Amino acid sequence: MSERTLEILEHQKQREVEAANRKASSADHAEGTWFLQQPFAGTGMSNTRLALGEIFNFSVSVAALDPAPGDLVLDLGAGSCWVSDWLNRLLVDTVSLDIAGDMLRIGQQRLGAGAKLTTGDFESLPFPDGVFDGAICISALHHVPDISRALREIRRVLKKDAGAVFSEPGLGHASQAQSKTEMEELGVLERDIIVTELMDECRDAGFEFVSVHPYLFPPLAYDHELWRSIQQVTQPSTIFSLKTLWQAMVEMTRYGSANRRLAWARLASTIPLLGRVYSGKGARSDRQTRSSPAEKPVRPPDALLCWQSLLTLRHAVEAHPVVVAQAGKRQPDSRRPGILKGQITVSEPIWQVEAGASFRVQVKVENVGDTLWLAEPTSYGGFVTLGAKLLDTENLLIAQDYGRALLGADLAPGETTIVELTLNAPAEPGEYRVKLDMVDECVAWFEHVGSEAVVVPLTVSLSQ
């Protein structure tokens, strides 16, 4: 980069700082506590529209990033820090970074004494390598002059299996009236984020997996008739041919002549299928061929609906890209589980104890799922224990939390351990049952997600 270019970029950044600081200080008087209340940032109609948009944006972005309680997430271009605030309420720890100090002062007011706030620039982040479990960037990357450099920095400060989510304005943003005014009045950089370019840049910056998440706000609405038509679109071959047609058209607009020839060939291959669809003799799905030949073939409007749905999705992605860039593959653990499955074995088939006595049993447990079972207790859960429920002989629940035992150490898929469980026999003599199951604390009893619990009959006799 030439010195002149660097100078222009620096100047641009300075204007960004001044603009954000000016906005922050105007919030003190003109718009009252606007930033302190974000996303509920005003009164009346405009508040409802703006707030719902921001809340939706938060939900989609955070769901796409999928942080777990206890994670340390970097909030990039944090502004008033409302995103950090809401993440904290989800028990996610945050560091909020912004180039504008005045904005962060509002954030400080909002988050209180323990807040971790840093004035800094995306393009040279003031953190060591590999410290964050995730990063979130809402409506800020498009202001950054050198996005590739910023992405490399973000990748650098993330742990090796961490991800970053970017939720940014897309096609058409820079030409909107409001953006033009902001560029004129504040001198900020407003530009369109082109989703494929951003995805390519993420890969170039060293992210291994990059995905895009369609953003549908305000929500789509289908009337009764339209929904019925959509429900009738069941034919895989129709969808297949439309998908091929779609891919062919995308390729034709994107690549050089060699690929264009391939795209033409693909396009031609869809024509017979589409022909059948449009002539009303649509290729039948397996289900139709086997069991209900009388079902109607796909009608032209149905095929058009498929086409229209793809266009809607494409528009949603291009108008508001939500891109997740994952540094590396994330192994599921009990804070963010995949398959939770345990094999529980007891040595004694029946337990016999005196009423009120405390007794200890040894239980063998094997992790037969794909998720690492974390052992260390936390206040927000996400660690695995052995749980015991007390039932009567008809399997009706007497005590939900009859007993719990911690694992001695983390248990990886395929590993086995012995757990010691101490229980107190009921005061009343009689026949009972103890159900043993693994528990991902504050997440799920394993039985509820498809694992098998073990039931042991318990005979309680009169104490001597």
Return residues touching ligand SAM (CB under 6 A).
Answer: 13, 16, 20, 77-79, 82-83, 98-100, 103, 121-122, 138-140, 143-144
* Smallest distance, ligand SAM to C-beta of residue 396, A: 50
Token duo for residue 55: 């809340």
Handedness of CA 166, 170, 174, 176 (dihedral sign): negative
For residue 293, which phi and psi values (nearest 5 degrees)? -60, -15
Token duo for residue 110: 């909002």
Query: In 275-289, which positions are buried (b, 16+ CB within 10 angstroms) versus exposed (e)?
Result: ebbeeeebbbbeebe
74 Rama class: left (phi>0) / alpha (psi -120 to 50) / beta: beta
* Smallest distance, ligand SAM to C-beta of residue 270, A: 42
User: How many CB atoms are located within 10 Å of the residue 372 CB?
Assistant: 20
* Smallest distance, ligand SAM to C-beta of residue 120, A: 6
Residue 379 CA to residue 70 CA, distance in Å, equals: 10
For residue 364, which phi and psi values (nearest 5 degrees)? -90, 130
Residue 152 CA to residue 74 CA, distance in Å, equals: 15
User: How many CB atoms are located within 10 Å of the residue 401 CB?
Assistant: 10
Q: Minimal CA–CA distance to 160: which of 215, 113, 198, 207?
A: 207
Residues linked to residue 322 through DSSP beta bridges, in sequence order: 167
